[in-house]
Amino acid sequence: MGGTGVQVRRRVLWMLCAVGVCLLALAVRLFWLQVWHGGGLYSQAVDVRTRVVPVQARRGEITDDKGHVLAVSVGADSVYATPAQVTDRTSEANALAGVLHLDPATVLKNVSRRAMFVWIARKVSAQESAAVRNLALPGVHIVQESRRIYPKGMFAGQVLGFVGIDNQGQSGVELSYDRALRGKNGELVIETDARNRQIPGGVSLYVPPVQGDTLQLTLSSPLQAIVQRDLDAGVAAAHAKAGYALMMDPRTGDVLAWAAWPTFDPNFARQADPSLWTNPLITLVFSPGSVFKPITAAAALQEGVVTPDTPFNDSGVLKVSGVNIHNFNRRGLGATTFAVGFQKSANTIFGRVGMMLGVQRFYKYLRDFGFTGRTGIDLPGEARRPNILRPENLATPLDVAEEAFGQTLAVTPLSMLTAISAIANGGELMWPHIGMDLRTPDGRLLQRIAPRGVRRVLSPQVAYTVQSLMASVVEQGSGKNAAISCYSIAGKTGTTQKYVGGRIGEGMYIGSFLGFAPAHGARVALYVMIDEPQGLYYGGQVAAPVFRTIMIDALRYLGVQAACPPGQKPPVAGALPAETVTMPDIVGLSPTDAERVAAEAGLFLDVQEGGTTGAAGGRVLRQVPPSGTAVTKWATVLGYTTPALALPEQTVTVPDLRGLTVQQSAAALGVEGLQLQADGTGHVVAQNPVPGMALHPGDVVRVMLR
């Protein structure tokens, strides 16, 4: 009996211990759940029963220099779904796909996802939004987002850029000023039950979005319209592949107009060729040719190496390190001065001036004018080292001689215009920029993007002298087609052959004109490039007329007063004439007959013959452009009577000799009719000229071997 009682007590004791252990375990578990992990579990519970709907902020406006809107954001409905609330997924997916013009399978996949929130369609049209509302489908909702609108369409498309579906900047100033423009998104938080229905009296929180700031640009809408209009007309008249024009206030570095053809409409950026999204005036790198010569002239004048009256005896050929440098027409100027050499764009004289400066001083001015680094413009896409130059420690006298007249180096159009603007404004290099002000949506000024000088490059006296030399190019030299009556224009023409795959592209040129007005006290600087014109291709023929038509309207808009002699009227504004005529065949005719035939066709003929222009002897051996080419009426065409001038295509391309021995290099050059000059032993590690350059048979290629 006693043993039975002991056993009962033991059982009770064990039961109490077991219950105690269970209670202790439950207490530990409750402590772990409610205290140790309580915060996390609470957050999960809140996440399960709350739904967050994003509310997109309106992006800030972009305006021109006068406050006219170039980019604005408007409300746009977007359709989303709460999958748990969708009652009949297949029928609802088909209905939504029908009114939103979507793939039914894709919509069905979205509404079947295990998620609180899925997008069905973003930023739909007003008609599509109304159709979705009329369907009144369970679990399908509409929220308002922000849609970017560019009211002027293609106007300055590559400068403005565009935005992505989430209102993030993708290119242009939309990207470079994205942080200021995008604003701050808001959200709507709603507490729901297990069936995703809003709980009456539950949590409902609205965080309003904050609109982005307004960006005011230096861009002038009237000037932008003028530049784009006349550039488009110039490209069409030249039957060119592309065209570019950049206008700047040289006093401040303000970009006034920025145009390219072809371009794109940022409203439909995704439908455009992605290659058009980039900004060619920043990314295009090419040999500037003769438009670079004012830089060399400025350096030489500043260093006292030359004066405008420094005498030269120009034979038309300059031999440097065994390589012959020729003028563009392969003729010399004889006994002349530096001023005339500048006006006539003599490569030989500029090659000599470059060597007179020497490597150290020449490269000093390349740095001072900004060619060895970025301009720092407030637009995306500029490389860290946008320009291509021979390293100073490797530069030879031949390199400097060729770079002095704009060959063997490559620069961007923006770098070139920025440097020339330093000459135009009296000698100070300015920071080029396109942003002017950042303001709050209510107009309060946040940041003034002020002009700033980078460094002084020239004395005002030297800058004035170069301005005068450039004015003489327009008055008496190759820039006559840019002249405007009653205004003093300073400028320089340029004609550059393009390289394709390291070789000169046959018949592929960029004709350019760079200048400013007035010549002294400039208000505006302008760079015009016509890419791959057909027929006439010299900068003075295809780019200078475009420069002139733009400048006429630009000067008038800016209020620059014309200074007309008595009885002379200011120029008439307007775009380039669109009328074209067909180039006749004048090969084999005498200069007199050729001029008559050209005049009958509505063209001016410039005959290049044996050191003179318009001489009466000989026969036309070559014409530019070829017969049958469409040419703007009363344009100037060319006829050549001297074999050396008539057959400039008799050139050969320098082969790539790197890695070859002396014997192999000599054999490779011999095939092309070129001569070899070798320094060192072993294999070729460097050559001058570089592969792909055009030389005449008999010219010398110098190589360095190690």
Confidence of residue 342 (pLDDT cuts 50, 70, 90): very high
Lowest mean pLDDT, pick from 200-204, 219-223, 264-268: 200-204
pLDDT of residue 417: 98
Confidence of residue 38 (pLDDT cuts 50, 70, 90): low
Question: Is a pLDDT exceeding 80 seen at residue 226?
Answer: yes
Of these ranges, 445-449, 577-581, 688-692, the one predicted with the greatest mean pLDDT is 445-449
Residues 515 and 664 in one domain: no
Lowest mean pLDDT, pick from 175-189, 372-386, 596-610: 596-610
- Of 647, 672, 688, the domain-final residue: 647
Instruction: Using the CB atoms, write b or e for 581-591: b if 16+ within 10 Å.
Output: bebbebeebbb
pLDDT of residue 57: 85
Residues 91 and 228 in one domain: no
* Within-domain flag for 43: no
- Of 178, 202, 217, the domain-final residue: 217
Lowest mean pLDDT, pick from 110-119, 163-172, 211-220, 357-366: 110-119
Give the pLDDT mean for 27-36.
72
Question: Is a pLDDT exceeding 80 seen at residue 156?
Answer: yes
Give the pLDDT mean for 505-528.
93
Question: Is a pLDDT exceeding 70 seen at residue 277?
Answer: yes
* Within-domain flag for 19: no
> H-helix or E-strand containing 439?
strand 435-439
pLDDT of residue 145: 76
Q: Given its phi and psi angles, is residue 251 left (phi above 0), alpha (psi -120 to 50 degrees) or beta? A: alpha
d(CA 619, CA 287): 34
Which tens digits make up the pLDDT trace of 656-694?
888 887 667 766 775 565 667 666 667 887 787 777 766
Confidence of residue 622 (pLDDT cuts 50, 70, 90): confident
Give the pLDDT mean for 164-172.
89
* Within-domain flag for 23: no
pLDDT of residue 483: 92
pLDDT of residue 416: 97
Residues 192 and 248 in one domain: no
Here the tokens at position 664 are 């192999």
Residues 678 and 592 in one domain: no
pTM (two decimals): 0.74
pLDDT of residue 648: 42
Residues 583 and 562 in one domain: no
Which tens digits make up the pLDDT trace of 304-315?
999 999 999 999
Tokens 């006219």, residue? 68
Phi and psi angles of residue 265, each rounded to the nearest 5 degrees, phi first? -95, 115
Give the pLDDT mean for 454-465.
97
Query: What is the three-class DSSP state of 195?
Result: coil
DSSP string, 488-533: --EEEEEEEEEEETTEEEEEEEEEEEEEEESSSS-SEEEEEEEES-
Give the pLDDT mean for 191-215.
69
Q: Which of 654, 659, 664, 702 is nearest to 684 (CA)?
A: 659
CB of 486 within 8 A of CB of 505? no
Task: Give the residue numbers annotated as catalytic, written as ranges.
Answer: 290
Residues 436 and 446 in one domain: yes
pLDDT of residue 475: 92
Question: Is a pLDDT exceeding 90 seen at residue 227?
Answer: yes
Q: Which of 295, 404, 308 is nearest to 353 (CA)?
A: 404
The boundaries of the domain holding residue 696 are 652-705
User: What CATH number corresponds to the domain at position 470?
Assistant: 3.40.710.10
Phi and psi angles of residue 610, each rounded to the nearest 5 degrees, phi first? 45, 45
pLDDT of residue 535: 82
* Within-domain flag for 29: no
Whether the link from the prior residue into 262 is cis, omega within 30° of 0, is yes
Give the rounded percent of residues in the chain with a pLDDT score beyond 70: 84
Give the pLDDT mean for 278-295.
93
* Within-domain flag for 16: no
User: What CATH number corresponds to the domain at position 597?
Assistant: 3.30.10.20
* Within-domain flag for 566: yes
Residues 488 and 599 in one domain: no
Residues 452 and 574 in one domain: yes
Which tens digits make up the pLDDT trace of 483-499?
998 999 999 999 988 87
Q: Beta strands 186-191 and 214-217: pairing type?
A: unpaired
pLDDT of residue 339: 96
Confidence of residue 51 (pLDDT cuts 50, 70, 90): low
pLDDT of residue 610: 44
pLDDT of residue 501: 66
Q: How many domains does the chain have?
A: 4
* Within-domain flag for 27: no
Lowest mean pLDDT, pick from 421-425, 468-472, 692-696: 692-696
Confidence of residue 574 (pLDDT cuts 50, 70, 90): low
Report helix, strand and coil shares of the chain as percent, to nearest 5.
35, 25, 40
pLDDT of residue 609: 56
- Of 559, 578, 597, the domain-final residue: 578
Here the tokens at position 70 are 């170039």
Question: Is a pLDDT exceeding 90 seen at residue 157?
Answer: yes
Question: Is a pLDDT exceeding 90 seen at residue 628?
Answer: no
Give the pLDDT mean for 222-245.
92
User: What CATH number corresponds to the domain at position 147?
Assistant: 3.90.1310.10
Residues 558 and 627 in one domain: no
Which tens digits make up the pLDDT trace of 82-122?
887 888 889 888 998 898 989 989 988 888 887 777 888 88
Give the rounded percent of residues in the chain with a pLDDT score beyond 90: 44
Residues 408 and 551 in one domain: yes
* Within-domain flag for 6: no
pLDDT of residue 5: 72
The mean pLDDT of the chain is: 84
Give the pLDDT mean for 236-250.
94
Residues 451 and 387 in one domain: yes
Residues 159 and 86 in one domain: yes
Question: Is a pLDDT exceeding 60 seen at residue 348?
Answer: yes
Question: Is a pLDDT exceeding 90 seen at residue 523?
Answer: yes
